[in-house]
Amino acid sequence: MRKKLLCLLLVVAVLSALTACTTGNGRKKAANSTTARSLEEIKSSKKIRIGVFSDKNPFGYVDENGEVQGYDVYFAKRIAKDMLGSEDAVEFVYVEAANRVEYLQSGKVDIILANFTVTKERAEKVDFALPYMKVALGIVSPDNALITDVSQLNGKTLIVVKGTTAETYFGENHPEIKLLKFDEYQEAYDALSDGRGDAFSTDNTEVLAWALQNKGFTVGVESVGSLDSIAPAVQKGNAELLDWINDEIAALEPEQFFHKAFEETLAPVYGDSVSADSLVVEGGKIE
């Protein structure tokens, strides 16, 4: 009884709050914004809304002048240019890892370009286009005891961060390796520096960038585990926009657009330690 009342009251409260503000904030198409905008609607509004990260250097971040930059953003601007004729015809919405799906489901953005890794669970909620990047796990270890192959880890201690793909992968496939788990990246790196573990594993993009900044450590294994792809995502069922993006990605292949994006945004960070081909995917084709 009390529970029912609680529910009822909550609904009433939220509803009244909503009606109070929708009247004041009536945007163009308040009636059915649950479904994402169609290609036509985006074109006639002359602005595409793309969700990007604002604190994932070098994929999506805000520079010291308040301008959003990065690999994902580079692609977003190209989409705006090819769809609407101008690089500036894009409204960037800053998203967090935890709310990317919500943004698409509620139709508040047209496309998510926020380092979105394709997984089965996510594919049930959103539609992924062709991939434009791939990531695997990397293993970083001290130069004086460099691990260059997973078999060398037998009986040794590997540091991982909880909740990452590294934790799942090594836990399931390599029971012979002892795992030392931490909640945060900083703790994990500290543990590696202190020698509490023999190596550390997480996304290769992350360890490669870290090894560059920390002398005495090298990424001995650049790619292990299943290859994950990173792709743009649209609201489930927005086939028109999805097809447009897929055509766009295919059309960009001849000019090697994503290699150019790599040179512009990722190369300054990774330097020579990463080859473009180990991260970039052209035309949506992963070998």
Partner 1 sequence: MQDLGIQVLFEGINFERLLKGLWISLKLGLISMLFSVILGLLLGCVMAGKNRIIKFLCRVYLEIVRIMPQLVLLFLVYFGAAKHFGADISGETAAVIVFTFWGTAEMGDLVRSALISIPKHQYESGYSLGLSKLQLYVNIIMPQTFQRLLPSAVNLLTRMIKTTSLVVLIGVVEVVKVGKQIIDASRYDNPKAALWIYGTIFLLYFAVCYPISKLSSALERRLKV
Q: In whole angstroms, how close is the CB of 10 to partner 1 at the nearest point? A: 6
Q: Which of 113, 221, 230, 269 forms a contact with partner 1 (CB under 8 A)?
A: 269
Q: Does 1 bind partner 1 (CB under 8 A)?
A: no
Q: Does 66 bind partner 1 (CB under 8 A)?
A: yes
Distance between CA 198 and CA 73 in Å, rounded? 36
Binding span for partner 1 by CB under 8 A among 21-29, 172-180, 236-244, 256-264:
21-29
* CA count, 13 A, side-chain hemisphere, 60: 21
- C-beta closer to partner 1: residue 158 or 269: 269
Q: Does 44 bind partner 1 (CB under 8 A)?
A: no
Q: In whole angstroms, how close is the CB of 56 to partner 1 at the nearest point? A: 7
Q: Does 273 bind partner 1 (CB under 8 A)?
A: no
Q: Does 263 bind partner 1 (CB under 8 A)?
A: no
> Would you list the DSSP string of 98-140?
GGHHHHHHTTS-SEE-S--B--HHHHTTEEE---SEEEEEEEE
Distance between CA 278 and CA 197 in Å, rounded? 27
Distance between CA 177 and CA 161 in Å, rounded? 15
- Residue identified by tokens 């945004």 is 265
Distance between first and last Cα of the chain: 59
Q: Does 251 bind partner 1 (CB under 8 A)?
A: no
Q: Which of residues 79-98 bind partner 1 (CB under 8 A)?
A: 93-96, 98
Task: Confirm if 204 and 275 have CB atoms less than 8 A apart.
Answer: no
Q: Does 144 bind partner 1 (CB under 8 A)?
A: no
- C-beta closer to partner 1: residue 191 or 250: 191
3-class state of residue 232 by DSSP: coil
Binding span for partner 1 by CB under 8 A among 103-111, 169-177, 256-264, 279-287:
103-111
Q: Does 216 bind partner 1 (CB under 8 A)?
A: no
Size of the site for partner 1 (CB under 8 A): 48
Q: Which of 47, 56, 81, 125 forms a contact with partner 1 (CB under 8 A)?
A: 56
Distance between CA 264 and CA 174 in Å, rounded? 37
Task: Confirm if 128 and 236 have CB atoms less than 8 A apart.
Answer: no
Q: Please, which residues bridge with residue 27 across strands?
A: none
> Under the rule (CB under 8 A), what is the footprint of partner 1?
2, 5-6, 9-10, 13-14, 17-18, 20-22, 24-25, 27, 29-34, 54-58, 61-66, 93-96, 98-99, 102-103, 105-108, 209, 212-213, 269
